[in-house]
Structure 1
Amino acid sequence: METHWHFFFDCKFSNQFWQSVLEWCGIRRKPYSAANEWKWVFKHLKGGGLREAICRTALCATVNELWRKRNARIFTGNYRSRNQVLWTIINEVQIRFMDLQISAHDNQRNREASTRIQATVKFKPPTVKTCKWEPPDEDNIMLNTDGRLTKERGSYAGILRQRDGSVVMAYHGGSKTTYIGAIEIEAIQKGLEVALELKIKNIHVRTDSMEVVNCILGICTPTWRTKAMVNSINVKIGTMEGFNIKHTFRESNKAADWPLTQQVVNHPFFWNSETRLLFYRDASDMLELEDRENDSDILKALENVVPTALGGNWDPTMEATFISNIGRCRRYKFDSMRDLLRAIRNKLNHYIELPKEIQEILRPVPDGFNGYFAGRFPRFLIEVYKICYKFCKEEEWFIKYFNNSVL
């Protein structure tokens, strides 16, 4: 028995014809199969907008006219050209809207739709909606993500911020996929990876793609291109203590647009190991001078971030041999940010003079040496950077670290 599943989408003529109807409705889309197309229809034509209403009416008119054309061809031998059938459908749609009292939001999409149906539409003036960045709950980090697709390439970016708006980390990267939905999901996947590396356990995620939100929440099924990434995201969510994801307006998601520009390149997250170690040395040298002053604001600020940067004393995470070695020349306070910086600087400056077993612990300079401390204190660099940015960004020997900073 012949059904609409065959003649409407799986028939080559009807498939191409439906594509022409969609183009008249303002939608450029190539149908592939009956199952795929009906899923798309039920998903995208259910809205209350004027274009969706026109598309639904055009769908009904198309099914009706193609069936009439098929019956006329089989039973009477009467053939109508493709253009004749198309104009019949367009005329049918326009008649259906002719005497209706239509009101719609005043935007370009609805004005184009009203021109197609040649109907009188009462346009409602646009409402102004104030959008601003939404801070996370107490003890949570906000992750704003975004994706971009151009003719040349796809790219994604994200930025993690604390409740007061200060930047924890920013990242960006290129994407091989040509599907914007997959790029948006990739941005979230990378952001959660960064968060876990920083030992962040409570996070709020905001994206301007409702489709992505629904995929991650399990409201809709991910495509074959995004299924693996969504599964990976769910695994990461399972390791966190608190997770929240919501849709946000693009205008309030500008924080995620910023890292897509060149400005993010100078963020310390993208520094190589050599630059990171040079920064530690310069910061430690500066703090040694500050130590001569009483009640130094920068030292107070630095020591206040110990819980965030170190999680407590720093000596338990290191080998006893290394702790014994650094204590030979001077005493260190193991709950001090300044003293950890001093230890890094001293071992870096005297690396060649260190015993072989200590060199093996710290590993080669710069990558191994930096990795030793970065692996134990993933938040240490960014917290020192934020303090130095606040107090020293105008000083000559720090300017090179802060040009085009995202902080």
Structure 2
Amino acid sequence: MPHSLSWGARSIFKNRYEFKVRICYLVGEGRDLNFWTDPWHPDGPVDSQTSIGTMLSNIPRNVSVHDIRSDSDWKEVLNSGPYGELTQIVHSGLFTKELPSYPLVPWYSSLWFPGHLPRHCPVVWQAIQSRLSTKDRLFFLGSQRDSTCSLCRSEPETHHHLFLACSYSSWVWRFILLRFGYRRKPNNGLQKEEEWLRKTFKGKGQIARAIRIAFSATVSHLWKERNRRVFEEKSTHKQQTLKDILDIIKFKTLYLKLQDIPSEKNIRISNILGLPCFSKEKSSRHCTWDPPPEDMAKLNSDASLANDQGSIGGLIRGSTSNIMVMFSWNKAPETISELELEAILEGVKLARSMDIRKLWIETDSMNALQIITGKCNCPWRKKVTLKLLQDLLTSFEMWKVSHQWREANQPADYLSKHDCPLKGIKILPTTA
């Protein structure tokens, strides 16, 4: 190891063997991996496994993984004994080494989100899991004599007390919540507070992002203030800590892309925090539905997906804007683009059954339009649906498909959200 390396580089270089065994290797055919020394096996290099290495001592030291396999299988020397299950052989015949997967924690979105502060994440990550070296843990290990909280000087310092149960930390967090319009006393611990925060402030808007920044900044500043009092014997008044956290919220969210719908509450909170309130407003669009030419019918369809339930709907109208038929069906929950294709298919089936010869299809789904016209790939689950639709369209004398804005597709949108029975309904207009 070169002596000119920095302390950080030397520490990394020193632990290179621990890093090496945790690297995921794609072995492939194994031509570039040494059978003995490379960690292609889940248990590490074969050379480090004494009992197995002795059993296979007749294999040369310079042999590769590829040299001991034939026709996507192990040679006879490895098919017996405890080394019979070296690793998993996948269908392609390639050898792979897989790392274990771990479940996703529910609080990840409160730490890692667009615009988060990376320097706060390690502290918050440890605090939520109660892994910080608080005085109660140090007292238990015998390295700390005084277990009194450094912030309030009245109760023992534990994770539950330090983060939002202490009078100092509770005052700071309550005043931050008041700025966001919530009067709440945090007395259930950091994990419960994060869970309430995650359920209350959803989405990617300005306010939700600002409160996540406030949460991580509060935890980080409280821990920083605790360490300042322990190691430097200096203290900061809680009002100054509150001001520092509010400044971070202000400057961090100042230039973020805002997506909130402008509302009285959001404007009030933005004014209190000193944030610019220039949320994206919905622009008005003027559009109308035009009837089809004579001897032609127009199909408008739409789809809806809500509460794990999919539904489709639509209607066919003539050249005088007369309604020829309406339909509404419940469908199995799929993606909205797949449901849009199903809605168009059902409408085309009805048009064919009514002996309509010329059909104009309008949809507010640009994705469905591009799939039908071949400008983008169809999902594999809907290949059959697309083939049926294409076969039906060839039976018409004339057909075309075009895009329509959602504002002009309101009747189909209503029918797609209509509370219909599972088998669906088809409504034919009454004749005079």
Report 1 or 2 for greater relative contact order, CA contacts < 8 Å, sequence distance ≥ 6: 1
- Structure with max Cα Rg: 2
Tell me the TM-score normalised to structure 1 length: 0.40
Q: What is the TM-score when the length of structure 2 is the normalising length?
A: 0.38
- If each structure's helix is expressed as a fraction of its own residues, which one has the higher value? 1
